[in-house]
Structures are given as structure tokens and as C-alpha cells.
A and B are shown apart, each in its own frame.
Chain A
Amino acid sequence: MRVTVVRAGGIAGMVVTTTLDAADLDDARTEALRTLVAGCSFRERSGPVAPALRDGFSYEVTVDDDDGARQGVRFAQGTAPEGMDALLRFVDDEPAGRRETRR
């Protein structure tokens, strides 16, 4: 399983792409990652967005499963689908994540 998080915008306007491959994790962390992904919704959240938000981040999260299945979702800061905040935090904090910054 591979999780790819693209975070862009913000005052810096940079594109930060973080890729986390379960192959780089031990069994316990892999299990934790799978549990987080299973708890995520990949449907855009309905309801109000923040129309006056300036310099907020926007995200694209893609999960590629070992069997080739792929699910993904895009959302603006503050409108993350169910479970997604916890997954973002895990990917951000995981030292095995590979991170690339560009515009």
C-alpha cells in the first residue's frame, strides 16, 4: 500500500508531496496505516466550505493498494473527509515518508 499526499497553497504557495510506502514500515506501523486508511472516507464532504479563506492549504490524498486499486480525494483545508486528518498526521509524522518540495 502506498499513500501519496499533495499539499499545496498556503502563504508560500509551494507544492509538498509526501509519499509513504507500507513496504518501508514495520508490521505494527503497516497495521496502523491500514487501520487509518480503512477509517477514511474518500468522498468530498458536503456542507459549507470557507469561501473567504485566503492562503489555506489544499490537498490531494491518493491510496494505491497492492492489488492495483486506487482511491483518492481532493479537499480544502478545514473540509477534510472523515478520518483524513488522522491519516495526514500519520503520514506527516512518519520518518519513512519521502517528501518533495517544489512549486
Chain B
Amino acid sequence: MHLCAIAPPSLLLRLAESGSAAAREAALETQRVSERLRGRRIAVARALREQGAAVPPDRPGVTANTVFDVEGGEESALPGRRLRTDGDPPSSDTAVNEAYDNAATTVAFYRDVFARESIDGRGLDLVSSVHFGQRYDNAFWTGEQMVYGDGGGGTFVAGALTRSLDVIAHELTHGVTQYTANLVYEAQSGALNESFSDVFGILVKQRAGGIDAATSDWLIGAGALEPSLGTALRSMLAPGTAYTGDDQPADMDSYRDLPVDDDPRNDSGGVHINSGIPNRAFAEAARTLGGNAWETVGPVWYTVLTERLRANAQFADAAAATVAVAAERYGDGSREHDAVRGGWDAVKVVPTPDPR
């Protein structure tokens, strides 16, 4: 079913632009098939939701959660040595237990709040590897599993990556996005991809801590950076203020129009930079409504991610879709509808007409 995950639209489009005539046609056909399959997946998801059976019946509640130790190795050594799976007692390794517990908390969030079974909605087993590389200052999603470094390389406090629930939920959500909207990881669609990971990252953290929208600091990775750099990776409420040098824009007036090229400084067209704009739209809407964000605007963003966006969706498309879903869910002119519209208004994104 997930052809698009194996050959993402961006790659296919590049092939379509640059390849021979035959390669171009093959790439376009693959793209068309992917779009058709995705359309069917959306239809199935909608039918399941409307019939009150969001959990596919084949593998309910049997997602295995397993943590491996890659022992300082890199890509070729993944996943590494199996150290803990369900039913095992806690490991003597703190990073292993944190990766296990935080992945379990994230999957429980998706199950309890959205009736979603794991990353793919069908109970996909969770695979995490810890101790990647030497003092590796990062966490990432490979397309198949989550991977965590130890930090301590000058950017992250040692141990912070597995300790931060929102970091783990951010990475796991990259998997959810891959199996749903599969947003192309460049420019605005890539910034939306990043933003959805931050949105569900903070929601998982808020729910686990019983933190409402008014009380939340809306920081991603609070306390994870070396203190000399700053307090967090990103501020969803005040983009551009999380650390010294943070240049996330807070609205479209300061949007960074960066090229999509192989220069690492351009961040695939600013995927980790312009994500500040949709992040703030969400946080503003949640703060306007008050209460628990995972119960107010969270479900709107979830429906949009899983059912309403094309892979190359732009900010204006996400704005239109969230406004439309808020109206469908809570009523036209409801305070939720107004709050979502107000969120996008605050960041100066004008919704396109509903793309459906």
C-alpha cells in the first residue's frame, strides 16, 4: 500500500523533470498510482471513522515496542542489539528505558485520543535504537525506525534526546506523517511535515503532564540544549526566541524563502525554519480556546494530517483544511472554528479555498 513511502513524490518529481523520456513517463505513472492509492487510503480511513471503527480489525492493540542498542555504530549497524521488548524488566541502561517508555506513552496517546493503532494505523511494531554514533547530537526517523544519539557533542545535554518525551513523539510522528499525508520534505510542505511533528510532540507531552494550553510553555525540547545555547529547540508560541540565533519566523512577513538545494545551510528550503509559522497558528488557536489542546484543536489537526492534505500541501492549504474541519467538527461559526481561523490570521496565512 505504501508505495509513496518507498519512492517519495519529491524524488519522483525530480526524475520526471530530469530523466529520459521513458524514465519520466515511468516516474509520472508511479506518481499517479501513488496518488490513487493514497486516495483510496483516505477513503478507507474516512469510512472507518464514520462507522466508529477507527482501529482496523486485523491487529488491534498488539504493537510490539522494542529498543535496540547500536553501541556507537551508525547506519550500517542499525538496529543493533535487542535490549528490551514488551514483558522484559527495565534495562540497566537509562537511555533504553527512556526510549521504551516514551515510545509507549506516544503510542498510547495516539490510541487513546485518536483511536490510531501505532504509526501506520495498523499496529506497526515500534523499533528504536539508542547510542547511535559518538556523542551524536541528534534524533531521527529512518523511514522504518527511531534513532537516538547520546548528545554531549556540544549541542545537546548528554542523555537529553531520549529523556525528552516531545523529542520522541516528534520523531514517531514523522512516521505517522509518512503513512498519511506523506508531506514532501522540502519548502512549505516540508515545514508542515516538521510542524505536525512539533504539534503532536507537544500534545503528547501536555497530556502526559496534565498541562493545559494556558499553562504550557509551548517549547519543544525544553532543557535539552546546552544551556549556553539557549532554553529549547523551538518556541511554538514565540518562534525565534528559543535560543541565541533562533531565526524562526513568527508570521509570513518574515517567511524565509530559501532554495531547495544540496546546501546544508538552506535546510531543504527551510523545513526547520518556516515550521515556526504553522506551529504558532496551532498554539494561538489552542490558547484562544483554553483547556486541553489535545481535546480542542488537536483532533482538528489530526484529521487534517491523516485525511485532508496532499503530499505537496502549502501553508494556505493546511489553513483551509483546518478551518474547514473545525467547522465540520464543531459547527460553522463555533468558537473552535473562529479560534482556528484566528490562529492562521495571527501568522498572516490566508487560507486557500478548501482543496477538496
Query: Interface residues, chain A, CB within 8 Å of chain B?
Result: 6-16, 50-60, 74, 77-78, 85, 89, 92, 99, 101-103
- Shortest CB-to-CB span from B128 to chain A, Å, is 14
Within 8 A of A (CB), among B236-265: 245-248, 262-265
User: Which residues of the other chain, B, contact A77 by a CB distance below 8 angstroms?
Assistant: 75, 140
Interface of B is mostly: loop
| B264–A58 CB distance below 8 A | yes
CA of A47 to CA of B197, assembled, Å: 29
User: Which residues of the other chain, B, contact A60 by a CB distance below 8 angstroms?
Assistant: 263-265
8 additional A-B pairs beyond A13-B272, A57-B264, beta carbons within 8 Å, are A6-B265, A10-B137, A11-B139, A53-B141, A53-B143, A54-B178, A101-B155, A103-B247
| B263–A74 CB distance below 8 A | yes
Interface size on B, residues (CB 8 A): 48
- Shortest CB-to-CB span from B23 to chain A, Å, is 16
The segment out of B44-52, B102-110, B167-175, B341-349 that lies at the interface is: B167-175
| A59–B264 CB distance below 8 A | yes
| B139–A9 CB distance below 8 A | no
CA of A52 to CA of B233, assembled, Å: 22
Any A CB within 8 A of the CB of B309: no
- Shortest CB-to-CB span from A27 to chain B, Å, is 26
User: Which residues of the other chain, B, contact A12 by a CB distance below 8 angstroms?
Assistant: 137-138, 155-156, 221, 225, 233, 272
Partner of B75, one of A13, A78, A89: A78
| B138–A55 CB distance below 8 A | yes
| A51–B143 CB distance below 8 A | yes
CA of A91 to CA of B199, assembled, Å: 36
- Knowing A11-B140, A101-B155, the reply to whether A52 touches B267 (Cβ < 8 A) is no
- Shortest CB-to-CB span from B121 to chain A, Å, is 17
